[in-house]
Structure 1
């Protein structure tokens, strides 16, 4: 009886039990914590499915990258092609009407894409950056490979079907095909987008904006993300990211929200209605924010017992202290202290002098003690860099000579001691 009572009061909830009770009505699902990439829930996460307008996350990434690299500027104006114009005039699709041969800034087109999922505006940006949409699609697939999105297959910049593109898209007149990604890769792409270009959220979080209020075709853009403030499915902390819908993709949504210093990224794919994609996302966010909290488990400068130094044979100091470069902050179930174990994986046994402060020597590996833990989007383990804590100058010839002499006589002394021991 005493043992039973102890087990009750020391019980720590397991992730698998909570996940089993969470019924998400979608074909594929994942939820991760943004900073660490820790997977908090998943279902069919590796199944590649059509992603519809969630495609535009990759287009957004490439726009931000082009701006960062100085290839384009937000205030740069571009002329609308006949193709982009024709697609933009189809009001059965999500669009802001563009003028044929009209000029628009990158900022205007980007906002139309990010807020209203405007397809003509997206094509105009793709043509600006890639020269043609076909070339831009090559850039999309190359970037997907670079980011490790193994399930990715992009055939256009928008996520529309070839039929919607009236046969004028990169696939040509008679071809079929849709952009494909797994839920896990959608989350990874969203994570890269948010981490590398956090300004993406300042646009994604805009609930309503008028496109070209004083222009020829002014239109009120109501964000398709109805979890934003005032849009019907409002959820505290939601500020992105991208919805999608085609008959093949169903209603899908890559969402993100931040509460109490923890940002979650969710993906639901192939739900059966607009309401469902937000209802299922709400279930995920409720579960994530009420079950987990982010904790600093290991501070910056953490040293693993027994591996606090690395040898620098020809340095002024014969060894140098090593430690983690950054703090390890991960989500853990509320009330659980630390469900992880750590180890070092060093690249070298010794360093050459001179060596600078914060020279990378390897990684500290963080792995859950739970056998059924879902791991991270990067794999079953999380890595953080281990670096040197100070610089070490190269020892001069005089010091090295005396070290050599010391080692020589030390070796003789050790041999003599061993010989005497052998006698007795």
Structure 2
């Protein structure tokens, strides 16, 4: 009895010491961060902003159409002989402390204009990337300039025999290359993506070869592709490499438009299917996001992944999240990154303010109407870009040669009234425009670019 009485106080003291040590460690890390006040404010604001983390209502189904639930094409199960948890969590990367307490095991927030890394967490860890692979697949198909109206046929070769993921595209279904691109980007359709790779010039093997060559060209040193869908866990990359891919993909107007379509009705083989965007941030206009390009991804080994090119407080940002714990936490992780940027730049969340001023009824209908208007505007922008490219590529009419006197007068007028200066287009292989030496943003940008620079010969 006496021994028990003496041992119990010591046990209580030991447990108390362990609890205190466990709580002090993250606190010590928190206060070491130079932006701790910004981080805490961002966490508080993101926690309060529940509109984007809640599942937004689905759009109404058109008469005679069959609705495909969002994320249906992202497989939920591991392979029969594969791991039952993500590679990152098996390594304990999700337990790495970060100032925003992200669920993701790896993350990167990058100012696309300056190249400044605003926040990073295990951003050089090489991990499976699931359907983020489809960004490279669709970009290469578009660069190959294959006919968009060419009809592709889904075959048994396109059926997922690795994870047995669902698809509404039965073997024998026909669809145009443009439709396949649309479904692969917005709803992560695996059979559509595989058919795109199978019909790439030279076939599937040439597609995979081109994907890896393009990765090297972009400076993605830690990236490997083995298929066009992302179903294999051997499709791997890092958050830093994926930021380079998002930057390049965001230069393509069609990829921006297709990836951010909230919903899309497709007529396929006598069936009318309404596909829903797999990213609820795109579907929920009440969340206040201004997204140019996005892609989600999920397999068990990769966890829930998300890439975004978005505008926040007048800044063009790239967000990469790998291995969030669930679909809901990858959305809340993105929300924390957005609020981190807002607080950092002292910008108000005007969308949150407008939401609080709106009556509760009618918000869902208003959101869908707003999403439709935004998508139509992006389509108009894409058509204008296409028409402008066509005009520039068209042969120029022959201009009659002017007399020497007229030429001299024109040159004199041009010197007196110079036109607009030429703007140098930034190389998509670089992280962003160079800055003056000595600036904080410039130093961070240089380090980001140097990490992916080709070795000098």
Counterpart in the other structure of 2:152: 78
1:286 corresponds to 2:360: no
Aligned partners of 1:77 and 1:199: how far apart in 2?
19
Instruction: Describe the superposition over 1:319-359 as per-residue Cα deviations: whole angstroms up to 9, x where unpaired.
Output: xxxxx975899xxxxxxxxxxxxxxxxxxxxxxxxxxxxxx
Aligned partners of 1:52 and 1:45: how far apart in 2?
17
- Whichever structure has more helix as a proportion of its residues is 2
Instruction: Describe the superposition over 1:83-128 as per-residue Cα deviations: whole angstroms up to 9, x where unpaired.
Output: 02x339x99625341442x432111101110111000000111111
- Whichever structure has more strand as a proportion of its residues is 1
> Which segments of 5 or more consecutive residues in structure 1 lack a partner in the other structure?
1-12, 162-176, 295-323, 330-362, 383-424
Counterpart in the other structure of 2:23: none
Aligned partners of 1:267 and 1:378: how far apart in 2?
17
The higher radius of gyration belongs to 1
Aligned partners of 1:209 and 1:372: how far apart in 2?
42
Distance 1:286 1:103, change over 3 A: same
Aligned partners of 1:380 and 1:291: how far apart in 2?
25
> Which segments of 5 or more consecutive residues in structure 2 lack a partner in the other structure?
1-32, 40-97, 348-420, 427-432
Alignment of 1:302-313 (within 5 A): none
Instruction: Describe the superposition over 1:287-339 as per-residue Cα deviations: whole angstroms up to 9, x where unpaired.
Output: 12332389xxxxxxxxxxxxxxxxxxxxxxxxxxxxx975899xxxxxxxxxx
CA contact (8 A) 2:114 2:434 kept: no
Match of 1:52 among 122, 127, 130: 130
Aligned partners of 1:154 and 1:381: how far apart in 2?
18
1:221 corresponds to 2:275: yes
Distance 1:227 1:371, change over 3 A: closer
Q: CA deviation at 1:372?
A: 11
Aligned partners of 1:21 and 1:372: how far apart in 2?
23
Distance 1:220 1:145, change over 3 A: same
Aligned partners of 1:138 and 1:381: how far apart in 2?
20
Aligned partners of 1:325 and 1:14: how far apart in 2?
39
Aligned partners of 2:425 and 2:154: how far apart in 1?
47
CA contact (8 A) 2:250 2:292 kept: no
Counterpart in the other structure of 1:193: 249
CA contact (8 A) 1:96 1:211 kept: no
Match of 1:109 among 140, 155, 180: 180
Aligned partners of 1:43 and 1:283: how far apart in 2?
14
Count of aligned pairs between the two proteins: 283
Aligned partners of 1:275 and 1:281: how far apart in 2?
10
**Consecutive aligned runs of 4 or more in structure 1 exceeding 6 Å deviation:** none
1:204 corresponds to 2:259: yes
Q: CA deviation at 1:193?
A: 0.7
Q: Helix, strand or coil for the counterpart of 1:61?
A: helix
CA contact (8 A) 1:264 1:288 kept: no
Match of 1:95 among 164, 167, 171: 167
Q: TM-score, normalised on structure 1?
A: 0.60
Q: CA deviation at 1:50?
A: 0.4
Match of 1:145 among 174, 199, 216: 216
Q: Helix, strand or coil for the counterpart of 1:23?
A: coil
Q: Helix, strand or coil for the counterpart of 1:26?
A: coil
Q: Helix, strand or coil for the counterpart of 2:120?
A: strand
Q: TM-score, normalised on structure 2?
A: 0.55
Distance 1:16 1:136, change over 3 A: farther
Q: CA deviation at 1:154?
A: 0.6
Distance 1:78 1:51, change over 3 A: same
1:29 corresponds to 2:84: no
Aligned partners of 1:289 and 1:216: how far apart in 2?
47
Aligned partners of 2:452 and 2:297: how far apart in 1?
31
Distance 1:155 1:381, change over 3 A: closer
Alignment of 1:18-417 (within 5 A): 18=38, 21-67=99-145, 72-84=146-158, 86-87=159-160, 93=165, 95-100=167-172, 102-161=173-232, 177-195=233-251, 197-212=252-267, 215-230=269-284, 234-292=287-345, 326=423, 366-370=436-440, 374-375=444-445, 377-379=448-450
Aligned partners of 1:139 and 1:119: how far apart in 2?
19
CA contact (8 A) 2:306 2:322 kept: yes
